[in-house]
Amino acid sequence: MNAKTLISTALTTGLLTTTACDDTQDEADLRIVMITPATNDLVTAELPPIDDIRITFHEIQLHHVDEGWIAVDPADEDAELYFGEMPLAIANAMLPEGEYDQLRLVVDEAEIYVGNEAQPLEIPSGQSSGLKIHGELCVAHDDDPEDEPAEHELVLRWDVDEGIRYSDERGYWLVPSVHIDDAPACPSDQ
């Protein structure tokens, strides 16, 4: 090998090593909060009175527009979403800074309580690909981590009042309607 090839190889190797080791990406904290209606707001003429709905999430996924899907754990291993408890933090995560355009809530288990009796509550696609929520949000470095409430809080609203269905053959199922109520926006100068 001549000196020119050695220098070229050394520079290329050094550049690749520097690039591979420079994996420092800025991250910021994001809290995801769910707002649900009280169960007494779920009374309909077609269904008996609903005492409670409990949903446990297995995972929460956020789609970063440049980096793809990022999975985060729920705020608590046994985090159950009890309807009527407002608001409830369902996740706290450090995420790469940048823009996100979708999130998914992957359901672990769901039950509906009617007449104080627990029954399974089916949520189509909830346990497989997750409940899909489209919308834009931005995660950026927090200049003042002492801010309360946190600057980076994603607020979701779950409107279930018209989404609960029942049939003798299928039992109870929920046609979910979750939307973004409030989301952090990217600074306009980016």
122-150: per-residue pLDDT in tens?
988 787 788 888 888 888 766 655 655 45
Question: What integer pLDDT is reported at residue 162 of this predicted model?
Answer: 64
Question: Does residue 127 or residue 95 have the better pLDDT?
Answer: 95
Mean pLDDT of the chain: 73
Q: Is the dihedral of CA 6, 12, 13, 14 positive or negative?
A: positive
Q: What is the pLDDT averaged over residues 61-85?
A: 78
Residue ranges per domain, the chain? 23-182
Short-list 180, 59, 53, CA closest to 122: 53
Question: What integer pLDDT is reported at residue 38 of this predicted model?
Answer: 63
Place of tokens 């809080």: 153
What whole-number distance in Å separates Cα of residue 46 and Cα of residue 50? 11
